Amino acid sequence: MGNDDHRRRKTPCGFCMAVFKWIPVLFITAVIAWSYYAYVVELCIRNSENRIGMIFMLLFYHLFLTLFMWSYWRTIMTSVGRIPDQWRIPDEEVSRLFRADSPDTQKRILNNFARDLPVTNRTMNGSVRFCEKCKIIKPDRAHHCSVCSCCVLKMDHHCPWVNNCVNFYNYKYFVLFLGYALVYCLYVAFTSLHDFVEFWKVGAGQLNASGMGRFHILFLFFIAIMFAISLVSLFGYHIYLVLVNRTTLESFRAPIFRVGGPDKNGYNLGRYANFCEVFGDDWQYWFLPVFSSRGDGYSYPTSSDQSRVSTSSPTQRYDAMGDTTTSRLDGNPTDKLIGASPLDTTNHHHNQSPHQVRSTSVLPTQLLQIQPPSTCRDELNERQQKLANGQSLDCSTPAAMSSPDERGVNGAAVYIEMIGDHPLTSADPAKGFPRPPNGDLPV
């Protein structure tokens, strides 16, 4: 509990409120105590004729009851914890924060104080989360509880039936409490079903002779069924929250991250990893109400951290690569690729192969814009007409030899293609044969 809650208890009104909070817990305890009497005394001891069956019924009943009450007690009595002093802002900084003339100034003050704290959550305006009542920087997934009057680590909700906040330290106990309560109610309902049916078969005279014991069994079955119906939905919902690593508050209001903004699945690491974060890595403690959760309650791994770990392996996840599509509105991606290539201004023709001719007088982005000379346009049209008619071409005389800028290495003609330029030499394997009509026209 927080310091404000202790101060409230010193007043008469605060003491009455503290007592009033325990009424739901006392009601649940009274129902469990009455169900114990109705099941053990009225159903098993006074009504059962099969002693061996009664022993097995009482054995499993006390097993489920023990796990149920153990989980319930741990959920109630586990403290919400206390935020360390390193998260608390000094009084002079708080005064300067409240005197700030603009939200940007407050944002700078909070960000400067929290620069060494492991916080990734932010407010709507991108500022570090700050609790005005507790005067602390809120750790990730922590919220201020008005009933407990303090900030609670990984707060799920405040449950009046346990008179405590469901938080990082007791969330496992709370889920086990719901599960074992459901098992307890179903077990009581199934084992009392036979006597419940027999209750409606007997006559009025036999009913009076049986006394009030049968009414206990009747109400025991009804109450077990009603509690089981309500617990099915609640337990199933929290199992879903465990598997997606989300609290009840986060399911209604997504956490805001410094990088990425609001994201309900920001802490989703996969179903098994999410389950182990709450129940621990050792399976021997999964179904026992002992603390085995991962972490310290102040920092949590995120789904982006999980993606970086997975992409560091040789086999990369495709969804971690981002959007691989290219917008056509940004222009031709081939032009961008060629334009980004460095220009080689050094003469390395003696080391280049015939298919790697590079002209130093023409920019790479201009290679795709070279037009045939006007003196050979008619010849080019004629060659295109022959190619369209399936006729062979005479390639003994190269075209486009009208200027030095249009020549390749050793005076060979240059063929402009989509990627590079290729000289046509006597060693060309296509000599004497027309080049396929793929856009590679001689210049």
- Active-site residue, selected from the candidate residues 131, 150, 151, 159: 159
Residues 6+ apart with CB under 8 A from 295: 168, 277
DSSP letter at 264 equals T
Q: How many CB atoms lie within 10 A of CB 236?
A: 12
185 part of the active site: no
* DSSP H or E stretch at residue 385: helix 377-389
Give exposure, 337-350, as e/b (b: 16+ Cβ within 10 Å): ebeeeeeeeeeeee
Q: What is the DSSP string of 344-366?
A: --S--GGG--TT----SSS-GGG
Residues 6+ apart with CB under 8 A from 241: 156, 247, 248, 251
Q: How many CB atoms lie within 10 A of CB 318?
A: 8
Give the separation between CA 182 and CA 189, rounded to whole angstroms. Answer: 11
Give the separation between CA 311 and CA 263, rounded to whole angstroms. Answer: 21
Residues recognised as catalytic: 159
